[in-house]
Amino acid sequence: MKRNTWQREAVRTALGTQMGFVSAQDLHSNLKGTGSQIGLATVYRALGDLATEGEADSLQSPEGESLYRACSTGHHHHLICRGCGLAVEIEADDVEQWAKSVAALHGFSQAEHVVDVFGYCSACVPAVG
Amino acid sequence: MKRNTWQREAVRTALGTQMGFVSAQDLHSNLKGTGSQIGLATVYRALGDLATEGEADSLQSPEGESLYRACSTGHHHHLICRGCGLAVEIEADDVEQWAKSVAALHGFSQAEHVVDVFGYCSACVPAVG
DNA sequence: GGCTTATTGATAATGATTGTCAAAAGCGAT
DNA sequence: ATCGCTTTTGACAATCATTATCAATAAGCC
Ligand SMILES: [Zn+2]
Ligand SMILES: [Zn+2]
Ligand SMILES: [Zn+2]
Ligand SMILES: [Zn+2]
């Protein structure tokens, strides 16, 4: 049976306060910054669990880091700021249809897709040029 | 000025013989297996260069590894078999336009996108059910 | 309160990728 | 072909995210 620990809840709520995607390392730093004594490994485990249970959405940054975000809604994609992590949820039925049809067209089954857009939001663009 | 070395060519041709995406580590193993004495760091550098110059296409596996594939055409995406690594190049102007417009719509700059479809090809589907 | 067992967390281990830098090799000029 | 300058190489160390260990802790149940 899975137990309720303050660590799990801490990660859950910390994720909720984030406005965008964050890495496990970042979230751990944030938690430590607020006085929490939670361990890094626990943050990794909690995030992994949340993602598995569908309470969090995960993706990989272009640099290869795993990023997480609280998310309870259904299938959708994200427009993510490389600077501050801000994530805008985007839906695109066109893309969904396209993915489905291109897979079928080539005889592929059990098709899933990865569709994410990365850039710099209007607030971060001045900081990078 | 960039120089021509047998190492670069070795990586280029080794990539060409692959039917799907491969990691730098795998390609290095393959090269070593055929008697080449090329160094691992050189394989990483060569693949990075090829990707930058547009001669190779790169993406990240779900596990976070960087994968490469020979590719001489312009910007496109892939339909990738989880079973055998087979990759079909796909183009979708619709998706390109969508990515561009959704970024602009939200004030994002320097937008890049990750668009890949994963599934099982017709040859691999029987093996997984 | 105790028992049982999942969970935690400090730390070590892993594994991909990058940095270092002296030695080797490419290329243009001689 | 040789010289000289500059890029490239490669063995090795360093980095960095993530995972594995495993003894200590603490949920949940009686
Ligand atoms: Zn931003
Ligand atoms: Zn979708
Ligand atoms: Zn296949
Ligand atoms: Zn595209």
| Ligand nearest to the backbone CA of B93 | 4
In a mutagenesis test of the A interface, which of B102, B116, B124 is the best target, namely the one with the most A β-carbons within 10 Å?
B102
* Lookup: nucleotide whose C1' is closest to A49 CA: C7
The predicted structure's pLDDT at residue B126: 60
Q: Does A19 fall in a domain? A: yes
Q: Which residues of B touch A94 (CB under 8 A)?
A: 94, 98
Contacts of residue B1, Cβ cutoff 8 Å, sequence gap at least 6: none
Q: What are phi and psi of B56, to 5 degrees?
A: -135, 155
Between strands A77-81 and A109-120, the pairing is parallel
pLDDT at B87 over 90: no
Q: Does B127 fall in a domain? A: no
The predicted structure's pLDDT at residue A4: 94
pLDDT at A47 over 90: yes
Q: Does B125 fall in a domain? A: no
How many structural domains is chain A composed of?
A: 1
Q: Does A81 fall in a domain? A: yes
Q: Does A127 fall in a domain? A: no
pLDDT in tens, B58-83: 888 777 889 999 987 778 898 988 77
Question: How does the average pLDDT of chain A come out, rounded?
Answer: 90
Q: List the single residue in A94, A110, A120 with the smallest CB-CB distance to B108.
A: A120
Quick one: which of A78, A20, A120 has its CA closest to B107? A120
Model confidence band, residue A30 (pLDDT cutoffs 50, 70, 90) = very high
B17, B11 in Cβ contact below 8 A? no
Q: Which residues of A touch B81 (CB under 8 A)?
A: 108
Contact check, Cβ <8 Å, B110/A119: yes
Note whether A93 contacts B: Cβ–Cβ < 8 A: no
pLDDT in tens, B8-60: 999 999 999 988 889 999 999 999 999 999 999 999 999 999 999 889 988 88
Q: How far is the CA of B36 from the C1' of C2 (A)?
A: 66
The predicted structure's pLDDT at residue B7: 96
Q: Does A98 fall in a domain? A: yes
User: Can you tell me which residue has its alpha carbon closest to the C1' of nucleotide C17?
Assistant: B44
Domain that holds residue A27: 3-119
Query: What's the CA-to-centroid distance between A78 and ligand 3, angstroms?
Result: 28
The predicted structure's pLDDT at residue A17: 93
Model confidence band, residue A127 (pLDDT cutoffs 50, 70, 90) = low
- pTM of the predicted structure, to 2 decimals: 0.79
Count how many Cα atoms sit within 13 Å of the Cα of residue B73 in the half-sphere of its side chain.
Answer: 8
Q: Does A94 fall in a domain? A: yes
Quick one: which of B24, B22, B19 has its CA closest to B89? B19
Q: How far is the CA of A112 from the C1' of C12 (A)?
A: 37
> How many other CB atoms are found less than 10 A from the CB of residue A104?
12
Does the annotation list A113 as a binding residue?
yes
Q: How far is the CA of A33 from the C1' of C5 (A)?
A: 32
CATH number of the domain enclosing A95: 1.10.10.10
Q: Does B97 fall in a domain? A: yes
DSSP 8-state secondary structure symbol assigned to residue B40: H
